[in-house]
């Protein structure tokens, strides 16, 4: 059983309308019908999901030949209303009897495998494995618990201090989201943030994080009568919602904060989406006066072109490059070149993941501006941040 899902089909409906979407579904159906063998069956399950039943499959290699062919025929563009549209497939594969002996088990497991294909980058296929069941059950548990997590006050913020390397004093912090659930325990952001993104729950969760981070920034400055910066991570979904900018402006006004003390960290993945609403949001953030930081610099593909296109203030060197300092010559050369380039562009540089004195000494030698990491401090609770005495 093949479970097929058309990748990003919702974007077609949203941007070109449901009439174009319906025509595209019809053409996709025809293409699938022409591609399968006479003894096989294809049907539309609903929405943009299709099922293909393959008969007389001897082994995985036999199924893979057919699946590869299906992926290939979708590389040709669809011609709809004088438009050329590219549509790709994500395919999950379940084989009887290994992956189920009845229709419901086979469908469920093929569906699970399809989600794995999506996670693998889309426009690909995945065979069902028992491990996937464990992964999907975990995902469903996280999603179920996440829906009420905000109401139950399960989310909190921790703060990673940032150090000015010129005077070794704290100049700010990065706000980090943490989640402790009574049923699931402590969940790492790498596990729950992608699920929050996919479900859209990142929007209210992100709003909570921004509100809390700015409240702490205000308390922090009032206690020490000095200026600190607060770095906050932004997700792609937050850019779509007008409430994000409205809430930010409201908080800045209510707390009487200087916008220059707020720094939003944006990954290259957000910029690679190339959406107009992202450009509009970034422009409006610039108008508000907050700072923009490119997070995980050097780990993507086109960082330099984005630095030219967007008015960033800060570059964050990813910890994967810092880890090799000072012994790995390639890492040393890359970090040194990045800092020199940033300085020539008038950008500040933050190195993350500092764990040793040797790494810190190398960064100071390269004239890095700021640093953060366990060498200075682990992420701190709000109480510990406000009591942090390394000023």
Cis status, amide bond into 97, omega within 30 of 0: yes
Q: Please report the pLDDT score of residue 378 as a whole number.
A: 93
Model's pTM, two decimal places? 0.74
Give 15's pLDDT tier (boundaries 50, 70, 90): confident
Percentage of the chain lying above the pLDDT 90 cut: 64
Q: Look at residue 128 and give its three-state secondary structure.
A: coil
Cβ burial, residue 32 (10 Å; 0-12/13-18/19+) = buried
Mean pLDDT of 27-53: 93
Strand partners, 175: 159
Q: Please report the pLDDT score of residue 268 as a whole number.
A: 74
Q: What angle do CA 208, 291, 340 make, to 5 degrees?
A: 130
* pLDDT at residue 32 greater than cutoff 80: yes
The H or E element that residue 391 is part of is none
Give 78's pLDDT tier (boundaries 50, 70, 90): very high
CA dihedral in degrees (165, 167, 168, 169; nearest 10)? -120
Q: State pLDDT tens for residues 295-327.
A: 988 776 556 777 878 889 999 999 999 999 999
What are the residues whose beta carbons fall under 8 Å from the beta carbon of 178, sequence distance 6 or more? 155, 156, 157, 158, 186, 189
Q: State pLDDT tens for residues 84-128.
A: 888 899 999 999 998 889 999 999 999 989 988 988 888 999 999
Q: State pLDDT tens for residues 216-244.
A: 999 999 988 888 999 999 988 888 787 88
Higher pLDDT, 299 or 72: 72
Q: Please report the pLDDT score of residue 302 as a whole number.
A: 54
To the nearest whole number, what is the mean pLDDT of the chain? 90
Contact 303, 297 (CB under 8 A): yes
* pLDDT at residue 271 greater than cutoff 80: no
């Amino acid at each position: 059983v093949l479970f097929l899902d058309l990748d990003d089909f919702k974007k077609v409906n949203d941007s070109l309308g449901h009439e174009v979407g319906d025509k595209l579904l019809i053409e996709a159906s025809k293409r699938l019908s022409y591609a399968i063998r006479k003894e096989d069956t294809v049907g539309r399950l609903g929405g943009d999901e299709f099922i293909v039943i393959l008969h007389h499959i001897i082994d995985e290699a036999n199924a893979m030949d057919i699946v590869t062919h299906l992926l290939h025929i979708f590389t040709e563009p669809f011609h709809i209303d004088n438009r050329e549209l590219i549509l790709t497939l994500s395919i999950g594969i379940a084989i009887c009897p290994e992956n189920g002996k009845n229709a419901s088990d086979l469908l469920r497991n093929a569906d699970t495998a399809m989600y794995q294909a999506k996670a693998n980058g889309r426009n690909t296929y995945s065979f069902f494995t028992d491990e996937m069941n464990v992964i999907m059950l975990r995902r469903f548990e996280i999603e179920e618990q996440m829906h009420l997590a905000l109401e139950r006050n399960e989310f909190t913020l921790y703060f990673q201090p940032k150090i000015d390397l010129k005077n070794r004093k704290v100049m700010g912090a990065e706000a980090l989201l943490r989640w402790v659930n009574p049923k699931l325990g402590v969940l790492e952001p790498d596990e729950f943030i992608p699920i929050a993104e996919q479900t859209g729950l990142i929007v209210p969760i992100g709003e909570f994080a921004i509100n809390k981070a700015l409240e702490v920034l205000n308390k922090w400055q009032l206690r020490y009568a000095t200026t600190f910066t607060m770095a906050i991570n932004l997700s792609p979904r937050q850019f779509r919602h007008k409430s994000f900018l409205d809430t930010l402006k409201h908080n800045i006004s209510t707390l009487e904060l200087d916008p220059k003390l707020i720094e939003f960290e944006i990954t290259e993945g957000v910029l690679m989406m190339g959406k107009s609403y992202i450009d509009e949001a970034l422009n409006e953030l610039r108008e508000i006066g907050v700072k923009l930081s490119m997070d995980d610099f050097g780990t993507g593909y086109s960082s330099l072109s984005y630095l030219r296109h967007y008015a960033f203030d800060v570059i964050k060197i990813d910890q994967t490059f810092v880890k090799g300092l000072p012994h790995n010559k390639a890492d040393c050369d890359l970090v040194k070149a990045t800092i020199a380039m940033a300085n020539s562009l008038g950008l500040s540089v933050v190195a993350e993941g500092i764990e040793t004195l040797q790494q810190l000494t190398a960064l100071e030698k390269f004239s890095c501006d700021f640093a953060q990491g366990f060498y200075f401090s682990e992420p701190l609770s709000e109480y510990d941040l406000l009591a942090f005495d390394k000023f």
